[in-house]
Structure 1
Amino acid sequence: MAKVKYYYDSENLAYRKIITKTRKKIGVVFLFLVASALFGFLSVVFLLNTPYFETPKNRIQARELENLKIRYAILNKKIDQIENVIDQIEDRDNNLYRVYFNASPIALEERKSGYKGANRYKELEGFDNSKLVMYTTKRIDVLQKELAIQSKSLDEILKMAKAKDKLLAAIPAIQPVKNENLKSMVSGFGYRTDPFTKARKMHEGMDFTAKTGTPIFATGDGVVERADNTASGFGNHIVIRHGFGYETLYAHLSKYKCRAGQRIQRGDIIGYVGSTGRSEGPHLHYEVHKNGKVVNPLNFYYGNISAVEYVAIAQLADQENQSFD
């Protein structure tokens, strides 16, 4: 039963009953209902965003998320196994296959570089497990790059294997002047004293002294790229491109027995010893280049000399004396 309220009428000196209007009652009830509804809505929103209250949908999503984490963990273990296998293949590729065919090894930085670009994984940012997803995605990308490089390398090895006979014939494997025609092996590969300036500088080949007119032999199959005297200091000289990255140079000749564009074979006479250009006396200056870099010719004399002769030449070549050019 509702309480009856009164107020004191000072004019009539009496208490009178307070009569509430119906419209005001309805307004109060309406405000109460609205406030209650708003409070209830805010309470539900708050509860739904706290870890203490889970809906069935939230529980399903949580299970799916944990399942996803487990799958990513399994995937990363499989990636570890694949990386181990690829590392073994790459090691054999660099240290066995490519060494056998005299091919330059592929640098580790190139194999493991992955894909460049700072924004490549931007679309994966901003999620609950972005770090895990990005980490795994990057590893897969690196594996894809490694496999592409390794596949290309094996294609190169296969080509070289099919062309093995041509490769072996192209390698500059003999001495350009026969031992019986040599006076001496004056200067080897490395830092030597310049005969003109007396300064110590890099000597990028080997000098063989012999009589003017002594035959010079091509050290491997190839094509004569040039036979002229236009290069400074070399005088009459010949450059042979052998293929497979090999190139040889024969300088200070007295005359030629070949021409540019001519295909020659190992052992063919291509010219004769002389002293043209920047030279101190009759000799042959001989260089070997591999993939554009000068290398020690001594590493290739295995086609026509004995072990004893090789040791003797190696000892002479190691002496830091004066070159002939």
Structure 2
Amino acid sequence: MAKIKYYYDTETCRYERVKTSPLDMFVNITGLLFACSLFGFFFSAIYIKYFPSAEEARLRKENADLLYAHKLLQKEVDESKRVLIALQDRDDKIYRVIFEAEPIPKEIRQAGTGGSQKYQDLLDKKLARQDMILSTLSQIDNLKRQMYVQTKSYDEIVDLALNKSKMLAAIPAIQPVDNKDLKRLASGFGMRIHPILKVKKMHAGIDFSAPKGTAIYSTGDGKVIKARKSNRGYGWEIEVDHGFGYVTKYAHMSKFYVKRGQKVFRGQKIGEVGSTGSSTAPHLHYEVIHKKRKVNPIRYFSKDVTADQYATLLEKASVENQSLGY
């Protein structure tokens, strides 16, 4: 039974019945409905959050499992990166140094990455976390590219290892003339006085003074790529390509015992000392060229001298005297 409300009317000095207008009733009912709806939404949200449906609970668990799996995958990717960096560092600083191979340039090691078009199928699906998925896929793709570069590097190192004995036999490692008493080294590598111009010029080899007809030997295994006779410059000269970036030159000779295209071996007699070309006395001008750059030949006298003898040769070669020819 509805309660009847009264109010005291001061004018009539009596209690009058409260009359509710239709508008007031509408406002009251609307307010009640709004409050009920608000509380309903609030309690529904709490219920859904803490008491989800079986399907929603399954989806939430699946999403949590996927996020956990992604974290584990990212951890493995990071660990793989660290391992690969260690392999690259060991490759450049140990293996390639041992076999005298140039380090692989950084831009090649990075190998580049594919563009986003590579994952266009995923982009078309407009996945909710496609940024996370694409980032991981891109990292894995880049790892695969860098690993491919590393495997090719190891293939090269294996080839170098298999050819190590050939390389050791090919590298110039003895003096080109018999010099047991160490008295034949006449002029060393560096700035020396030109025998004809009488001014200092770069002397790109070592001069061994010796009588005409003294035997000249190949300092390493290789193939003759030049056997030229001339009355100027180097005169009669021979060049031997030893492979692995090494070439040796023998100049001012008087006789050849080999010809262009012929294979030679370390210690093999290839000619005789002379005084042809720009020469002031019988001698052998000997050069070592590594990767197209002329280097000091004395660095390579390792097979036929002791440590004390090598020190003596270094001292003789350091004297800035006049060369016997250019």
Partner of 2:111: 114
1:75-117 C-alpha deviation (Å, 9 max, x unpaired): 3332332222223323332333333333333234432x32277
The residue type equivalent to 1:90 in the other structure is Q
1:222-267 C-alpha deviation (Å, 9 max, x unpaired): 2212211369722211111222332211112122111112222110
Partner of 1:276: 276
Secondary structure class of the residue paired with 1:298: helix
- Conservation of the 8 A alpha-carbon contact between 1:181 and 1:210: no
- Conservation of the 8 A alpha-carbon contact between 2:175 and 2:304: yes
- Conservation of the 8 A alpha-carbon contact between 2:207 and 2:284: yes
Give TM-score scaled by structure 1 length: 0.68
C-alpha distance in 2, partners of 1:230/1:61? 89
The residue type equivalent to 2:75 in the other structure is K
C-alpha distance in 1, partners of 2:68/2:197? 73
What is the number of residues matched between the two proteins? Answer: 272
Secondary structure class of the residue paired with 1:277: coil
Partner of 2:73: 75
Instruction: State yes or no: 1:307 paired with 2:307.
Output: yes
Change (3 A) 1:141 1:173: farther
The residue type equivalent to 1:242 in the other structure is H
Of 89, 96, 99 in structure 2, the residue corresponding to residue 98 of structure 1 is 96
- Conservation of the 8 A alpha-carbon contact between 2:224 and 2:262: yes
| Stretches of structure 2 lacking an aligned partner (at least 5 in a row) | 1-48
C-alpha distance in 2, partners of 1:59/1:204? 82
C-alpha distance in 2, partners of 1:141/1:292? 38
What does 1:4-153 align with in structure 2 at a 5 Å threshold? Answer: 71-111=69-109, 113-115=110-112, 123=120, 132-133=132-133, 135-153=135-153
C-alpha distance in 2, partners of 1:149/1:93? 12
Secondary structure class of the residue paired with 2:87: helix
- Conservation of the 8 A alpha-carbon contact between 1:245 and 1:290: yes
C-alpha distance in 1, partners of 2:192/2:117? 53
Give TM-score scaled by structure 2 length: 0.68
- Conservation of the 8 A alpha-carbon contact between 1:212 and 1:282: yes
C-alpha distance in 1, partners of 2:151/2:93? 16
TM-fit CA distance, 1:210: 2.1
C-alpha distance in 2, partners of 1:88/1:238? 45
Secondary structure class of the residue paired with 1:303: coil
C-alpha distance in 1, partners of 2:192/2:114? 48
| Stretches of structure 1 lacking an aligned partner (at least 5 in a row) | 1-53
C-alpha distance in 2, partners of 1:207/1:165? 29
Greater shift in the superposed pair: 218-227 or 279-288: 279-288
Q: Identity over the aligned pairs, expressed in percent?
A: 41
The residue type equivalent to 1:79 in the other structure is V
Partner of 1:40: none
- Conservation of the 8 A alpha-carbon contact between 1:114 and 1:141: no
The residue type equivalent to 2:143 in the other structure is L
C-alpha distance in 1, partners of 2:127/2:198? 71
The residue type equivalent to 1:114 in the other structure is A
Instruction: State yes or no: 1:293 paired with 2:293.
Output: yes
C-alpha distance in 1, partners of 2:64/2:119? 23
Change (3 A) 1:69 1:311: farther
C-alpha distance in 2, partners of 1:294/1:116? 40
C-alpha distance in 2, partners of 1:115/1:287? 42
- Conservation of the 8 A alpha-carbon contact between 1:121 and 1:134: no
Instruction: State yes or no: 1:186 paired with 2:183.
Output: no
Change (3 A) 1:216 1:134: farther
Secondary structure class of the residue paired with 1:252: strand
Change (3 A) 1:121 1:213: same
- Conservation of the 8 A alpha-carbon contact between 1:287 and 1:294: yes
Secondary structure class of the residue paired with 1:239: strand
Partner of 1:177: 177
C-alpha distance in 1, partners of 2:208/2:308? 18
C-alpha distance in 1, partners of 2:315/2:195? 21
The residue type equivalent to 2:315 in the other structure is Q
The residue type equivalent to 2:111 in the other structure is G
Secondary structure class of the residue paired with 2:288: strand
TM-fit CA distance, 1:120: 6.3
TM-fit CA distance, 1:219: 0.6
Q: CA RMSD of the aligned region, Å?
A: 3.6
- Conservation of the 8 A alpha-carbon contact between 1:252 and 1:283: yes
C-alpha distance in 2, partners of 1:94/1:231? 47
Change (3 A) 1:72 1:101: same
- Conservation of the 8 A alpha-carbon contact between 2:232 and 2:276: no
Secondary structure class of the residue paired with 1:227: strand
C-alpha distance in 2, partners of 1:175/1:260? 22
